[in-house]
Structure 1
Amino acid sequence: MDKPLSLLEIDRLYLQGDRNLQQQKFPAAIAIFEQLLEIVDPRSRLYFDVQRSLIKAYQQNQELDKAIALCQSVAKSDIASTALWGQHFLAVLSTDFLIPIDNQQEFADEVVPTPAIKPKTLSEFKQYCKAHLLEELQALEHKRKYTLKTIFASGIFCLIITWCFCWALSMCLSGNISVFFYLLCLLFTLPVWIIFCRGCIYNYKIGFKGNIIEKIVDFIGDQTHSSTMHSESFRATPADTFRDRHSLNYAAHLFLENKRQTILALTRSQILNDELQEPDYLEQEDCVYGTIGNTSIFFAEILAEKRTGGYLDEFARETYSSKSVLFQGLFFEAKFAKNFVSRTFVMPNDLKGKMAPLHSWRGEPIKLEDPEFERLFRVYGDSQLESRYILSTNLMARLVEFNQKARRKVYLSFVDGFLYIAIPYRHNLFEPRLFKSMMSFTPLKEYFQDFQLMIGIVEDLNLNRRIWGQ
Structure 2
Amino acid sequence: MKRIEEFRKYYNHTIHPELMRMERLRVRLLRLIFVSFLLLAGLLLYELYINIPALTLSLSLPIGMYLFFLFRRVRQFRLTFKPNIINLILDFIDDGMNYDNDHPLVYRPERFIPQHAFLNSKIFDCEAPTIYQGEDHISGKVGNMDFEMCELTVQDESKAGSGLQDVFRGVFMQATFPENARGRIIIWPRSRRHRHFRAIREFNWEEGENVDHEITNDEFRAAYMTYATHSTHVIGILSEPMQQAIIDYRKATGKEIYMSFIDRQIYAAVTEDKDLLEPNLWRSNLSFELIREFFEDIHMLLRIAEDFDQTH
Same fold (TM over 0.5): yes
* Change in CA separation of 1:397 and 1:230 when aligned onto 2, cut-off 3 Å: closer
How many angstroms does 1:125 deviate by? 0.6
Cα deviation, 1:79-112, whole Å, max 9, x if unaligned, reads xxxxxxxxxxxxxxxxxxxxxxxxxxxxxxxxxx
Question: Quick one: distance in 2 between partners of 1:456 and 1:188?
Answer: 55
Q: How do 1:208-287 and structure 2 match up within 5 A?
A: 208-222=81-95, 231=102, 246-254=103-111, 262-273=114-125, 277-287=127-137
* Residue type at the aligned position of 2:299: Q
> Comparing both structures, which one devotes a greater share of its residues to strand?
2
Q: Which residue is 1:300 aligned to?
A: 150
Maintained 8 Å contact 1:344/1:379: yes
Question: Quick one: distance in 1 between partners of 2:4 and 2:39?
Answer: 47
Question: Quick one: distance in 2 between partners of 1:270 and 1:385?
Answer: 16
Cα deviation, 1:179-216, whole Å, max 9, x if unaligned, reads xxxxxxxx999977864553332132122211211111
Q: Which residue is 2:10 aligned to?
A: 128
Q: Which residue is 1:365 aligned to?
A: 210
- After TM superposition, the structure 1 stretch with the greater mean CA deviation from structure 2, 198-207 or 262-271, is 198-207
Q: Which residue is 1:346 aligned to?
A: 187
Q: What secondary structure, in the 3-state scheme, does the structure 2 residue paired with 1:463 have? A: helix
Q: What secondary structure, in the 3-state scheme, does the structure 1 residue paired with 2:233 have? A: helix
TM-score, reference length from structure 1 = 0.56
* Residue type at the aligned position of 1:420: Y
Question: Quick one: distance in 1 between partners of 2:310 and 2:234?
Answer: 16
Q: Which residue is 1:64 aligned to?
A: none
* Change in CA separation of 1:135 and 1:125 when aligned onto 2, cut-off 3 Å: same
Structure 1 portions without partners, runs of 5+: 1-118, 171-186, 232-245, 309-321, 466-470
Q: Which residue is 2:56 aligned to?
A: none
Larger Rg: 1
Q: Percent identity?
A: 24
TM-score, reference length from structure 2 = 0.82
Cα deviation, 1:107-145, whole Å, max 9, x if unaligned, reads xxxxxxxxxxxx961111111111111111012112222
Question: Quick one: distance in 1 between partners of 2:71 and 2:193?
Answer: 37
How many angstroms does 1:393 deviate by? 0.9
Maintained 8 Å contact 2:123/2:199: no
CA RMSD between the two structures: 3.1
Question: Quick one: distance in 1 between partners of 2:194 and 2:290?
Answer: 22
Question: Quick one: distance in 2 between partners of 1:282 and 1:350?
Answer: 24
Question: Quick one: distance in 1 between partners of 2:271 and 2:64?
Answer: 36
Q: Does 1:406 find its partner at 2:253?
A: yes
* Change in CA separation of 1:381 and 1:436 when aligned onto 2, cut-off 3 Å: farther
The one of 225, 228, 231 equivalent to 1:381 is: 228
Question: Quick one: distance in 1 between partners of 2:193 and 2:50?
Answer: 62
Question: Quick one: distance in 1 between partners of 2:22 and 2:264?
Answer: 42
Question: Quick one: distance in 2 between partners of 1:359 and 1:190?
Answer: 58
Q: Does 1:203 find its partner at 2:203?
A: no
Maintained 8 Å contact 2:185/2:232: no
Question: Quick one: distance in 1 between partners of 2:267 and 2:40?
Answer: 52
Q: What secondary structure, in the 3-state scheme, does the structure 1 residue paired with 2:261 have? A: strand
How many angstroms does 1:441 deviate by? 0.8
Maintained 8 Å contact 2:150/2:171: yes
Maintained 8 Å contact 2:23/2:284: yes
* Change in CA separation of 1:280 and 1:129 when aligned onto 2, cut-off 3 Å: same
Q: Does 1:158 find its partner at 2:8?
A: no
Maintained 8 Å contact 1:151/1:200: no
How many angstroms does 1:404 deviate by? 1.5
* Change in CA separation of 1:353 and 1:144 when aligned onto 2, cut-off 3 Å: farther
Maintained 8 Å contact 1:155/1:193: no
Question: Quick one: distance in 2 between partners of 1:190 and 1:376?
Answer: 58
* Change in CA separation of 1:131 and 1:345 when aligned onto 2, cut-off 3 Å: same
Question: Quick one: distance in 2 between partners of 1:125 and 1:364?
Answer: 40
Q: How do 1:388-427 and structure 2 match up within 5 A?
A: 388-427=235-274
Question: Quick one: distance in 2 between partners of 1:436 and 1:203?
Answer: 17
How many angstroms does 1:402 deviate by? 1.0
Maintained 8 Å contact 1:158/1:189: no
Maintained 8 Å contact 2:138/2:150: yes
Question: Quick one: distance in 2 between partners of 1:127 and 1:356?
Answer: 44
